[in-house]
Amino acid sequence: MYHVVMHNDDFTTMEFVVGILMDIFGKNASTAERLMLQVHKEGQAIVGTYPYDIAVTLVRKASERARQERFPFRMTVEEA
């Protein structure tokens, strides 16, 4: 199993991060808001734990959306 870790940056909007968490990672609004604030305050947060292929696919989808919006948004996949 692998953790998907979201990293903070100074440019990606909080609204974008919440949207990614809800649309791609299936989080409800309150969980997405809590995770976004954790990333903002602590610099990173584990947003989910998945089999490797699923983790990589979710990160790829989120990264593509960030590129389209021109955000430097970054996520990594780390062994659990």
Domain segments of the chain: what residues?
2-79
**From CA 29, how far away is CA 6, in angstroms rounded?**
17
The model's pTM: 0.94
> Average pLDDT, whole number, for the chain?
97
Q: Distance between CA atoms of 65 and 61, rounded to whole angstroms?
A: 6
Name the CATH topology of 2-79. Ribosomal Protein L30; Chain: A, (3.30.1390)
Per-residue pLDDT tens digits of the chain, which is 80 residues long = 999 999 999 999 999 999 999 999 999 999 999 999 999 999 999 999 999 999 999 999 999 999 999 999 999 999 99
70 HSE (CA, 13 A, CB side): 0
What element of type H or E holds 53?
A: helix 52-69
CB 62 within 8 A of CB 7: no
